[in-house]
Amino acid sequence: MIKIEYPDKFVEEYYYSIVTKNKNVNEIKLSQTKVTKINKVLKRIKFKGGTLDLEKLITADFDELIELVRLFENEFCNEFKDKVKMKNIGNEQYIDYLFESRLNDNILPVFLSDSKIKTKILNDMKNEWNSILSESNSIVYEVDSIRKKISNFFMSKSDIINLKTCYYCNIDFINSFVSKGENKNHFTLDHFFPKEKFPYLSISLFNLVPCCSPCNTKFKGKKTFKFDKELFSLSPSSKFYQVDNELFFNLYFNISGQNLEEKLKKVISNNDFEIKLENCSKMIGNYSFIDFFKLEGRYDFHKNEALKMINKRKIYSDSQIKELSDLFIQKGIAKDEEAIKKDLFGTSIFNEDEKNEPFAKYKKDIAKQLGLI
Ligand SMILES: [Zn+2]
């Protein structure tokens, strides 16, 4: 639920954390010789007025990744579809559907009941894919050395990019820490386009979303969002990301009262109010986002965070805060009402650039409804 914003030079530094800059240096990175070999395959694809190469593939923006998926699928799919058909004669119709549905899990064909044949066809597809991208073994995330390089790179930049809480759920911490002199981390890197299905995007920076382990492994897993125009606004790495603006935590009281103050006074427990995560734009993709990451249930478990805010607001109404501020000023301490609110409710509610604190959005949305901001 947080947009990823990388600082200047981050993208270039990322590329050179994987690929050697100098031809003669022998580092545990992709060598320039390997890059040349990979580029021989990639240059078959026309991209942005020229041809594709590894650097463009690794550093492409999120919207360029969507374009690349279309190009890759068109350029290579027909080529290996025929080969897979040859190996699985009699199941041509199934294979056609399988290829058509590559971009959308939800229309996966179900009419082939023999699971052994299904697995064989899927393996044949994977093998054909690998044979086309002959150097793909060097550029996929599964290669240990590459995975470590990428993870180390994110750890080394964690302060600069303020890697603090999961970009998907904004619930769990994803910090780095030092243990016995070694850098360790709490984060995983999710492949927005799953690496199993889109191996060619497995080390593309804007396909990686730093997130907590439950979001990556337990909840999203290999699920893919529907491949349509809404995709642009669903990945935190996209400059058109909108989920944080389109989802809102709405507070509803189960008790009656003339105004907010009266209702607040009557709140005793979690049962006296509801927090509903609502999709303001009604965009279908946003519902998938909520569903993939099980956001409703996970936030509901943390309803106490809202109760704490409500209980504080019960005591510290606007007039109370003003009185406190006047007292401080009388004593010569410069604390205006804004500063007192920050002390009481935490700075992340009021500061735009503190999005990376756990529950920042949840608390901000509720704070608005409690008249704090
Ligand atoms: Zn998460």
Q: 277 alpha carbon to ligand 1 midpoint, in Å?
A: 16
Q: How far apart are CA 62 and CA 309, in angstroms?
A: 37
Q: 303 alpha carbon to ligand 1 midpoint, in Å?
A: 17
8 A C-beta contact, residue 232 and residue 66: yes
Spatial CA neighbour of 44 closest among 19, 83, 74, 18: 74
Q: 165 alpha carbon to ligand 1 midpoint, in Å?
A: 8
Instruction: Identify residue 78 by its one-letter amino acid code.
Output: N
Nearest-10 Cα torsion for 129, 133, 139, 140: 0
Q: 86 alpha carbon to ligand 1 midpoint, in Å?
A: 43
Q: How far apart are CA 358 and CA 369, in angstroms?
A: 19
| Strand boundaries in 186-236, DSSP class E | 188-191, 208-211
Per-residue CA distances from 92 to 77, 105, 124, 241 (Å): 15, 19, 13, 39
Residues 161-178 have pLDDT tens digits of: 989 999 999 999 997 788
Spatial CA neighbour of 80 closest among 199, 203, 205, 231: 199
Q: 213 alpha carbon to ligand 1 midpoint, in Å?
A: 7
Q: 23 alpha carbon to ligand 1 midpoint, in Å?
A: 40
Per-residue pLDDT of the chain (373 residues; tens, 9 = 90+): 999 999 989 999 999 999 988 766 666 788 888 888 889 888 888 999 999 999 999 999 999 999 999 888 887 777 788 889 999 998 888 888 888 777 766 555 566 677 888 889 888 887 887 777 766 666 777 777 888 899 999 999 999 998 999 999 999 999 778 888 888 888 899 999 988 788 889 999 999 999 999 999 999 988 888 888 899 999 999 999 999 999 999 999 999 999 999 999 999 999 999 999 999 999 999 999 999 999 999 999 999 999 999 999 999 999 999 999 999 999 999 899 999 999 999 998 998 888 889 999 999 999 999 999 8
3-state helix, strand, coil in the chain (%, to 5): 55, 10, 35
Given this model, what pLDDT does residue 78 score? Answer: 79
